[in-house]
Chains A and B, each alone.
Chain A
């Protein structure tokens, strides 16, 4: 581990990728390990205890999502939930057609599942967004066709925080008889989930639950055909026994996050406002992107002209702060962030700062104090000052 300003672990300002297990989730995990081994389908005493735990977790999650417990399935991750969500809705609508409408700024998990449908003979329409990263609701509605099998719209952008027009698009989808999949991974546990979805995807590690639990909710009456071999568990939507202790921890963590969400929103929203204003004022040639108001409470993204995104991440980590970046030099591919590209903003020198329950005002102040110097040093080293 490199030395940091604190001489300890860096301050985690990458909550959008995942946050540490919350105390409530940890306690639930430990408490459920003893009973979580048994098969909830068995009538033995141990099986019945496991069944009670699983039913309780499902009810808790359904309560937060505003749906019925049988509509909730637990998956091994948000990514698997997204893949199954897209492929399962498409499978249920094969007679209608094989066309998919999705936002250009969708998470790659949804896009990869759509790509699979296209490879297998389907087609897709990607709906543009504006400079703030908001998907065009009218264009989305206009893209729905008679042969559209499903539509996908994320609830908010995981990269820039801009809220998406879910209710408007849901109304258009309902009128067209097209099921709508909503990726709410950044939203569940942070703000009320917009209504009108046919299927919804969430991920426990975003709200302080354990890694290894995703949620796929599918409304009663929505046609569904599993892309995987039949299995009766989890409503027939996710095969295999869910990791019960993890699922219980995820559900308890979600209850705690949802209960604290409005207080956290009030605490984090002004901190993000502060980052937006201070970065724009103290770092020359920077673009703070995403909607400044109609946005997630905890996330802000900006791009620094002429700066290498990877160098910026490494230097900030060295100075004690972990952030993430949509710049191509920091990705596993050579492609820059498709979200920043769709918005028409700079893709290099990009930093995403996302705050969690553990983030303090002092953390944010220290980050804001260090950032201008880090950017200036990198620009000096690259010889780009005054360009």
Chain B
């Protein structure tokens, strides 16, 4: 958990089922400057497992999760 890693980009996928949050995160990371922090906000329980797994498969740094309203923001470094 790195609460001080403030997101440069936020993608809101609230209400959208797996694998949409991971797809939208991947799109945002592809468009972001390398090294910036991208977060996806999701209330889908699968995102908690799939975002870190995606980061591992793509060689990206997973920065952890923080509460975001009724959902959760999962952060990675682009």
Tell me the B32-46 residues at the A interface (CB within 8 Å). 44-46
Given A334-B45, A336-B46, A344-B52, verify A306-B57 contact (CB < 8 Å).
Answer: no
**Distance of A349 Cα from B57 Cα, bound (Å):** 14
- Closest CB-CB distance, A332 to chain B, in whole Å? 14
**Distance of A48 Cα from B70 Cα, bound (Å):** 65
Given A328-B18, A335-B45, A387-B30, verify A345-B53 contact (CB < 8 Å).
Answer: yes
What chain A residues lie within 8 Å of B44 (beta carbons)? Answer: 328, 334
Q: Does residue A110 face the partner (Cβ distance < 8 Å to B)? A: no
State whether B23 touches A347 (Cβ < 8 A). Answer: no
Q: State how many residues of chain A have any CB contact under 8 Å with chain B.
A: 24
State whether B18 touches A387 (Cβ < 8 A). Answer: no
Chain B interface residue bracket vs A:
10 to 19
Residue interface mask A318-329, B partner, CB < 8 A = 1: 000000000111
**Distance of A111 Cα from B53 Cα, bound (Å):** 24
State whether A306 touches B22 (Cβ < 8 A). Answer: yes
Closest B-chain residue to A345, C-beta based?
Answer: B53
What chain B residues lie within 8 Å of A307 (beta carbons)? Answer: 19
Q: Does residue A285 face the partner (Cβ distance < 8 Å to B)? A: yes
Closest B-chain residue to A386, C-beta based?
Answer: B30
**Distance of A340 Cα from B48 Cα, bound (Å):** 12
- Closest CB-CB distance, B30 to chain A, in whole Å? 6
Q: Does residue A134 face the partner (Cβ distance < 8 Å to B)? A: no
State whether B23 touches A306 (Cβ < 8 A). Answer: yes
State whether B49 touches A384 (Cβ < 8 A). Answer: no
What chain B residues lie within 8 Å of A346 (beta carbons)? Answer: 49-50, 53-54, 57
**Distance of A287 Cα from B44 Cα, bound (Å):** 21
**Distance of A349 Cα from B20 Cα, bound (Å):** 11
Q: Does residue A103 face the partner (Cβ distance < 8 Å to B)? A: no
What chain A residues lie within 8 Å of B9 (beta carbons)? Answer: none
State whether A382 touches B23 (Cβ < 8 A). Answer: yes
State whether A384 touches B26 (Cβ < 8 A). Answer: yes
Q: Does residue A62 face the partner (Cβ distance < 8 Å to B)? A: no
What chain B residues lie within 8 Å of A309 (beta carbons)? Answer: 18
State whether B19 touches A349 (Cβ < 8 A). Answer: yes
Closest A-chain residue to B30, C-beta based?
Answer: A387
- Closest CB-CB distance, B19 to chain A, in whole Å? 4
Closest B-chain residue to A328, C-beta based?
Answer: B46
Q: Does residue A341 face the partner (Cβ distance < 8 Å to B)? A: yes
**Contact partner of A329 among B17, B26, B49, CB < 8 A?**
B17
What chain A residues lie within 8 Å of B49 (beta carbons)? Answer: 336, 340-341, 344-347
Residues of A within 8 A of B (CB): 285, 287, 305-309, 327-329, 334-336, 340-341, 344-349, 382, 384, 387
Of the A-B pairs whose beta carbons lie under 8 Å apart in the complex, a sample of 23, sorted by A's number, is A306-B22, A306-B23, A328-B18, A329-B18, A334-B44, A335-B45, A336-B18, A336-B50, A340-B49, A341-B48, A344-B49, A344-B53, A345-B49, A346-B49, A346-B50, A346-B57, A347-B18, A347-B46, A347-B50, A348-B19, A348-B22, A387-B23, A387-B27
Residues of B within 8 A of A (CB): 17-19, 22-23, 26-27, 30, 44-46, 48-50, 52-54, 56-57
Of all A-B residue pairs in the complex, the 8 with the closest CB atoms, nearest first, are A348-B19, A336-B46, A348-B18, A341-B49, A387-B26, A346-B53, A328-B46, A347-B46
